[in-house]
Amino acid sequence: MSTETKNQAMAHALNQALRDELDTDPKVLLVGEDIGELGGVFRVTDGLAKDFGGTRVVTSPLGEAGIVGSAIGLAMAGYRPVVEIQFDGFVFPAMNQIVTQLAKYRHRSEGRVSLPVVVRIPVGGGIGAIEHHSESPEAYFAHTPGLRVVCPSTPQEAYALMRAAIRCEDPVIFLEPKKAYWSKGPVDHAAGAAPREALDRARVAREGDALTIATYGALTATALKAADELAAEGTEVEVIDLRTIAPLDHETVVASVRRTGRLVIAHEASQSGGIGGELAARVQRDAFFELEAPVLRVTGYDTPYPASRLEEEWLPGLDRLLDACDASLAY
Amino acid sequence: MEPTLDLRAALRDMILARRVDTEAIALQRQGELGLWPSMLGQEGAQVGAGSALRPRDVVFPTYREHAVAWCFGVDPVQLLGLFRGTTMGGWDPAERGFQLYTLVIGAQTLHAVGYAMGIVRDGDVGTGDPDRDRAVLVFLGDGALSEGETNEAFVWAAAQNLPVVFFCQNNQWAISAPFSVQSRVPAAQRASGFGFPGVQVDGNDVAACHAATEQALAQARAGGGPTLIEAVTYRRNPHTTSDDDLRYRDAAENDHWRDLDPVDRLRTTLLESGAIDDAFLAAVAAEEQELAERLRTGCRALPVPSHDDPFLHTLHTMTPELARQRDEHLAFVAAGEEGPA
């Protein structure tokens, strides 16, 4: 097991997290399309089949329902499967298994049976991909009681949260922002898995008192850039990386909004029925009198994800985020 | 390999399991159950398959495997909770290896495949030690043959040579859709396309169902891979107590299958051969009465879960927002119980 801090891309941090959990717990195994020799289409499982063998790192037949459905059976048999869905847009054939089976079994068995399954899904756009390769399906999962939904924003978070997710007794939908796969950051492997509570808590990525931006995944980096720009103008913005989308840690956001009085929520997923609406509702419930401005959202639009030549403008980016912050601050 | 079925025990199991079914229908008519999926006519297939299991085998049922549950030692009263609305499950699936009923068609075939992958990884296949080797028996209906997930399960089982036996009760009807809507070929024939053996048996012949299942399970436990068994039978009652089967099928067809009834058939055979006598049947009838009584009182005594329950078993640990929702709900319920102020 690696013990030093490294400057590492998120894909490599995830690889190390999977490696360390495979090393630690013989019940952990990886299953997915092309994850063996190829190392997955994003190479997140690179080298693991070679080191742990084909029974721990299993290249599966092509079938998403089969991948998740068989992981359920493996978990029932006492294993801790970590499965890979190749792309966000390909998870839907597995939705039945995720929604009607994986999410429900703890409740159906009155708490007797846990299904510690991690479903890894590369998510989001901004990489110039073609159709079905840039989706943000998190709200579908967050709407299903019984699932946890995690989305890291940095290599360190990816490493620690992946290890925590694998150790968690609940099913975890682990969303890996593709756009962040190759951005580097320091990763302290010695710190090991994040404490389980991290799967319940948001993270304050930058402190400030003028306005709160709440976001997650690849957009966290954009929000930090926005905060830098506003700081240059003398406005200190607090950036909260939600980290987990279900459960949604609105309390950390509420505590921040009580100080700043302003909230801008940013996510790539389309607006209607999105996580931003849920967060906004809870914040106005708990901090109505502290709000100096309406809660604003910067999101993808309520359209299908566009052709990649249009995605730069379609996606919430730095300019749209700064516009929203200005609008909030103008109240 | 010689089948090991004790025909007298099989007849007793079939009669008692049928009584579970009959009583459950009566309880539904009395308003004690919201719904009941009857298995009348399928006792031969289910007892045949269920009696071939060993204690370490694992069963993945649909929602109609009442006689298999009986054979595997699940308390029949516990079968009623799901249909009475006191539980979403009903028994401890880990205790006996009889998994919870699955209502989504075909979903359990993949769970069976995953469990079988676990058995292989545990090294509990092909050791030659009868106390160690295990297999998975998964039930599906003819309608499930059309589900993509069932076909994925076949692919998985074949590719990984898994110790899983797919037991398809072709009872001819997927609610109102006849088998001809599902397949142009017999179900058993499907298996060859996936690369493993398919066997068709008379589903109303308990001995044939037992022999086929015993052989397939033995092969699976020994590392010989999967088998698809098609037990050709007939669902003589409607799909559930909510269904009106005379809208889609002829009563004469039902009469035809009534004449092929698996229980009558075995009883007649055993009486004629002198293997059983009236005293045996009287003893079983007395057991039936006791069972019926236990089901009636047991059903009404099934514990209603607390309003807390769903909150406790949603995630392993309760989140603050869920705790808030629980408190709100419990206060609401408590206020209702106190009556208007």
- Mean pLDDT confidence for B271-297: 97
CB contact at 8 A, B41 and B171: yes
pLDDT, residue A118, reads 98
Which tens digits make up the pLDDT trace of A232-246?
Answer: 999 999 999 999 999
Residue A192 scores a pLDDT above 90: no
Top residue of A27, A82, A108, A244 to mutate, by most chain B CBs within 10 Å, is A108
Residue B2 — very low, low, confident or very high, per pLDDT cuts 50/70/90?
low
Active site residues of B: 235, 239, 248
- Mean pLDDT confidence for A263-274: 97
Residue A262 scores a pLDDT above 70: yes
Residue A96 scores a pLDDT above 80: yes
Residue B3 — very low, low, confident or very high, per pLDDT cuts 50/70/90?
low
Answer whether A109 sits within 8 Å of B114, measured CB to CB: no
Q: Which residue of B has its CA nearest to A247?
A: B319
- Mean pLDDT confidence for B45-56: 97
DSSP state, B304? P
pLDDT, residue B332, reads 94
pLDDT, residue B329, reads 95
Q: Name the residue facing B313 among A74, A76, A106 (closest C-beta).
A: A106
Q: Name the residue facing B156 among A70, A77, A108 (closest C-beta).
A: A70
| Nearest chain A CA: its distance from B128 CA (Å) | 21
- Mean pLDDT confidence for B150-162: 98
Chain B residues with CB under 8 Å of A282 CB are 321
Which tens digits make up the pLDDT trace of B312-325?
Answer: 999 999 999 999 99
Which tens digits make up the pLDDT trace of B165-191?
Answer: 999 999 999 999 999 999 999 999 999
**Which residues neighbour B33 within 8 Å (Cβ) at sequence distance 6 or greater?**
B24, B27, B80, B83, B84, B241, B299
Top residue of A28, A90, A109 to mutate, by most chain B CBs within 10 Å, is A109
Which tens digits make up the pLDDT trace of B74-100?
Answer: 999 999 999 999 999 999 998 889 999
pLDDT, residue A3, reads 58
Residue B339 — very low, low, confident or very high, per pLDDT cuts 50/70/90?
low
- Mean pLDDT confidence for A205-229: 98
- Mean pLDDT confidence for B300-318: 94
For chain B, give the percent of residues with pLDDT over 90. Answer: 95
- pTM attached to this predicted model: 0.95
- Mean pLDDT confidence for A99-124: 97
Answer whether B159 sits within 8 Å of A81, measured CB to CB: no
Residue B4 — very low, low, confident or very high, per pLDDT cuts 50/70/90?
confident
pLDDT, residue B1, reads 55
Mean pLDDT estimate for chain B:
95
pLDDT, residue A70, reads 98
Residue B341 scores a pLDDT above 60: no
- Mean pLDDT confidence for B45-65: 97
Report cis status (omega within 30 of 0) of the bond before A247: yes
* C-beta pairs of B304-312 under 8 Å, 24+ apart in sequence: B304/B86, B305/A110, B305/B86, B305/B87, B307/B333, B309/A110, B310/A107, B312/A111
Residue A46 scores a pLDDT above 70: yes
Answer whether B115 sits within 8 Å of A29, measured CB to CB: no
pLDDT, residue B336, reads 83
Q: Which residue of B has its CA nearest to A252?
A: B320
- Mean pLDDT confidence for B255-274: 96
| Nearest chain B CA: its distance from A110 CA (Å) | 6
Tokens of B106: 């075909």
pLDDT, residue B340, reads 59
Active site residues of A: 133
pLDDT, residue B337, reads 75
Answer whether B317 sits within 8 Å of A196, measured CB to CB: yes
pLDDT, residue A196, reads 83
Residue A197 scores a pLDDT above 90: no
Whether the predicted interface score ipTM is above 0.90: yes
pLDDT, residue A4, reads 73
Interface size A-B, in CB pairs within 8 Å, comes to 139
pLDDT, residue A271, reads 97
Looking only at the bridges linking them, the beta strands covering A263-270 and B136-141 are: unpaired
| Nearest chain A CA: its distance from B316 CA (Å) | 6
Residue A2 scores a pLDDT above 70: no
Chain B residues with CB under 8 Å of A104 CB are 88
